[in-house]
């Protein structure tokens, strides 16, 4: 089954190998930054929170710049330095002893991390055909979760708050893991180049930019869907889910860990099956189904909260089941969302489209904690879970409203003949300068 979802071009397969290593590295450190700063480096919790928030804000600021640079110079010249800066950040955090050193490291990390995802998605898009792009993005997500899950399990058995060296070890390991995708890109000098050749400037001719992207009505509607779904779904996991599960449902942190484990297992096991099932089906309907599944997951968690600790087994089962149900929605979202973004994009502006789509995660990461924290603190847990359920369902409606604005091909309904492969033809891979008629026709407001 794995051979059915692997990309045809060897370059794309090598990019996915780099993804595995970088995900493994992120898994080493992702769950432990706050603990490391507060319990090992003894930085006050409020200061640590501000430092992490500073990283998020800078990521939002730098992301649009990264998208412009990707379109102007090519993704490889943005992604390679960004990966290097992210690796240096991990090494710097290993030896940062106070708040200003951590702040300096996170600033560098935001500069790099803000562009990596958009750049890698742009590269993968250039290496895959329309008919295989959805399954490749889904496989990328499965590998990402597998790497993070394995990395977190390994680092969880290593770290000890009484030994700073144990945390330094995982951050150094994360730093070296960033070398893998860098080496992969350096080994393929013709991958990630500029997709559209520079045009000579003519007097009175407006150059394409973010305004053109924002004028694209289907993409604007898609962005609204993504923002609402992410604020009501993914972004609620760190604060809303954990706060509700511990304060209202009354489970231990260990049960929350089991919920995330169940989430990872479902993604890794089910992703390939979902990719196969999605082939030739409507992408907008799949996205609408994601909102519905996320809503059902929050209903499951709310039902566990109604028990209010009177049945420890039911409470624990409800929290773990939430993680599993939520994962089903993720397996639908991961291949569909980036594929639709790149179906709407043109080569000239592909970096900007991916950058704006990536910014949604940063925005929701700020909005969701601000909305969830106060409501849970005031004892309005019922209102909070009602709002996230309503948000997920409203996102489903928005996804369906995108369908009349796009073509069948953009929605994944029309079969697309694969382009000739360079390995078969013996010719160099051409710079893609075409704009499909479907994309052009969808730009009218």
Res 309: pLDDT: 52
Are both 381 and 246 inside the same structural domain?
yes
* Closest C-alpha to 181, from 337, 429, 334, 11: 11
Are both 95 and 127 inside the same structural domain?
yes
pLDDT in tens, 76-108: 999 999 999 999 999 999 999 899 999 999 999
Hey, what are 139's tokens? 């496989």
Are both 321 and 396 inside the same structural domain?
yes
**Residue 205 located in a structural domain:** no
DSSP H helices in 233-349: 242-244, 253-278, 283-307, 312-344
The greatest distance separating any two alpha carbons of the chain, rounded to the nearest whole angstrom, comes to 74
CATH number at residue 371: 1.20.1250.20
pLDDT of 11 over the 60 cut: yes
Dihedral pair phi/psi, residue 7, rounded to 5°: -65, 150
Give the up-direction half-sphere exposure of residue 244: CA atoms within 13 A in the CB hemisphere: 30
Are both 317 and 357 inside the same structural domain?
yes
User: What's the whole-number mean pLDDT along residues 160-183?
Assistant: 92
Are both 339 and 384 inside the same structural domain?
yes
CA distance readout (Å), 358 to 52, 230, 354: 18, 11, 6
Hey, what are 132's tokens? 């295989």
pLDDT of 385 over the 80 cut: yes
**Residue 421 located in a structural domain:** no
Are both 167 and 289 inside the same structural domain?
no
Are both 361 and 239 inside the same structural domain?
yes
Average pLDDT, the chain: 83
Dihedral pair phi/psi, residue 424, rounded to 5°: -80, -40
Dihedral pair phi/psi, residue 160, rounded to 5°: -150, 120
pLDDT in tens, 227-280: 999 989 888 877 788 788 878 888 877 787 788 888 888 988 898 889 888 888
pLDDT of 443 over the 70 cut: no
Residue that wins the pLDDT comparison between 120 and 5: 120
Res 426: pLDDT: 36
CA distance readout (Å), 24 to 132, 154, 384: 25, 10, 34
Residue that wins the pLDDT comparison between 423 and 240: 240
Hey, what are 190's tokens? 């013709």
Res 86: pLDDT: 94
Query: Residues of 357-382 as b/e, b for ≥16 C-beta within 10 angstroms?
Result: bbbbbbbbbeebbebbeebbeeeebe
Are both 43 and 189 inside the same structural domain?
yes
Q: What is the pLDDT confidence band of residue 442, given thresholds at 50, 70 and 90?
A: very low
Res 431: pLDDT: 37
pLDDT in tens, 270-317: 988 898 888 889 999 999 999 999 999 999 999 888 865 567 888 888
Tell whether pTM > 0.85: no
User: What's the whole-number mean pLDDT along residues 21-29?
Assistant: 88
- Give the span between the Cα atoms of 291 and 215, in whole angstroms: 25
Hey, what are 357's tokens? 């789509």
- Give the span between the Cα atoms of 375 and 384, in whole angstroms: 6
pLDDT in tens, 35-49: 788 888 998 878 887
**Residue 433 located in a structural domain:** no
Res 3: pLDDT: 62
Q: Any idea which residue has 């640590």 for tokens?
A: 48
Identify which of 148-157, 409-418, 423-432 has the greatest average pLDDT.
Answer: 148-157
Are both 253 and 394 inside the same structural domain?
yes
**Residue 26 located in a structural domain:** yes
- Give the span between the Cα atoms of 65 and 72, in whole angstroms: 11
pLDDT of 166 over the 50 cut: yes
pLDDT of 432 over the 50 cut: no
Are both 256 and 147 inside the same structural domain?
no
pLDDT of 1 over the 80 cut: no
Identify which of 132-141, 153-162, 282-291, 373-382 has the greatest average pLDDT.
Answer: 282-291
Single out the residue in 158, 193, 228 at which a domain terminates: 193
Q: Any idea which residue has 């649009």 for tokens?
A: 64
**Residue 441 located in a structural domain:** no
Residue that wins the pLDDT comparison between 429 and 50: 50
**Residue 435 located in a structural domain:** no
Are both 174 and 246 inside the same structural domain?
no
Domain range for 179 is 8-193
pLDDT in tens, 176-235: 999 999 999 999 999 988 887 655 555 444 556 888 988 899 999 999 999 999 989 888
Domains held by the chain: number = 2
Query: Residues of 408-428 as b/e, b for ≥16 C-beta within 10 angstroms?
Result: ebbbbbeeeeeeeeeeeeeee
**Residue 207 located in a structural domain:** no
pLDDT of 428 over the 70 cut: no
CB atoms under 10 Å from CB of 230, counted, come to 24
Q: What is the pLDDT confidence band of residue 359, given thresholds at 50, 70 and 90?
A: confident
**8 Å CB contact between 301 and 245:** yes
**8 Å CB contact between 296 and 303:** no
Q: Which residues contact 348 (CB under 8 A, 6 or more apart)?
A: 71, 195, 196, 208, 435
pLDDT of 118 over the 80 cut: yes
Hey, what are 317's tokens? 């089962």
Res 175: pLDDT: 95
**Residue 438 located in a structural domain:** no
Are both 174 and 289 inside the same structural domain?
no
Q: Which residues contact 176 (CB under 8 A, 6 or more apart)?
A: 25, 87
């Amino acid at each position: 089954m794995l051979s059915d979802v692997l990309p045809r071009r060897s370059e794309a397969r090598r990019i996915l190998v780099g993804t595995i290593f970088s995900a493994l590295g992120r898994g080493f450190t992702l769950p432990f930054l706050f603990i490391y700063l507060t319990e090992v480096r003894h930085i006050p919790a409020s200061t640590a929170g501000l430092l992490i928030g500073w990283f998020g804000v800078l990521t939002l600021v730098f992301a649009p710049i990264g998208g412009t640079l990707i379109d102007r110079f090519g993704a490889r010249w943005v992604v390679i330095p960004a990966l290097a800066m992210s690796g240096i950040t991990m090494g710097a955090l290993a030896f940062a002893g106070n708040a200003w050193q951590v702040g300096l490291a996170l600033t560098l990390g935001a500069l790099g991390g803000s562009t990596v995802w958009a750049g890698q998605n742009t590269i993968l898009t250039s290496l895959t055909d329309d008919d295989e792009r959805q399954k490749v993005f889904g496989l990328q997500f499965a590998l990402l979760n597998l790497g993070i899950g394995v990395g977190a399990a390994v680092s969880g058995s290593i770290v000890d708050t009484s030994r700073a060296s144990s945390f330094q070890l995982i951050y150094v390991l994360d730093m070296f893991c960033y070398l893998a995708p860098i080496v992969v890109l350096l080994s393929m000098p013709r991958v990630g180049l500029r997709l559209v050749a520079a045009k000579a400037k003519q007097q009175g001719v407006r150059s394409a930019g973010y305004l053109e992207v924002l004028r694209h009505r289907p993409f604007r509607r898609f962005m609204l869907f993504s923002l609402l779904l992410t604020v009501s779904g993914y972004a609620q996991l760190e604060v809303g889910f954990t706060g509700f599960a511990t304060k209202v449902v009354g489970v231990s942190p260990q049960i929350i860990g089991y919920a995330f484990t169940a989430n990872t297992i479902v993604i890794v096991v089910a992703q390939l099956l979902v990719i196969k099932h999605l082939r030739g089906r409507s992408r907008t309907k799949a996205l609408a189904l994601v909102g519905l599944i996320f809503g059902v997951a929050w209903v499951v968690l709310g039902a566990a909260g109604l028990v209010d600790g009177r049945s420890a087994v039911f409470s624990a089962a409800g929290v773990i089941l939430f993680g599993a149900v939520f994962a089903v929605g993720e397996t639908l979202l991961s291949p569909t969302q980036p594929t639709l973004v790149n179906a709407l994009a043109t080569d000239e502006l592909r970096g900007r489209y991916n950058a704006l789509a990536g910014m949604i995660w940063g925005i929701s990461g700020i909005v969701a904690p601000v909305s969830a924290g106060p409501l849970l603190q005031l004892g309005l847990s019922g209102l909070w879970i009602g709002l996230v359920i309503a948000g997920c369902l409203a996102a489903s409606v928005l996804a369906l409203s995108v369908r009349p604005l796009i073509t069948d091909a953009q929605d994944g309904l029309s079969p697309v003949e694969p382009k000739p492969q360079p390995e078969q033809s013996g010719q160099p891979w051409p710079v893609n300068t075409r704009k499909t008629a479907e994309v052009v026709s969808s730009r009218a407001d």
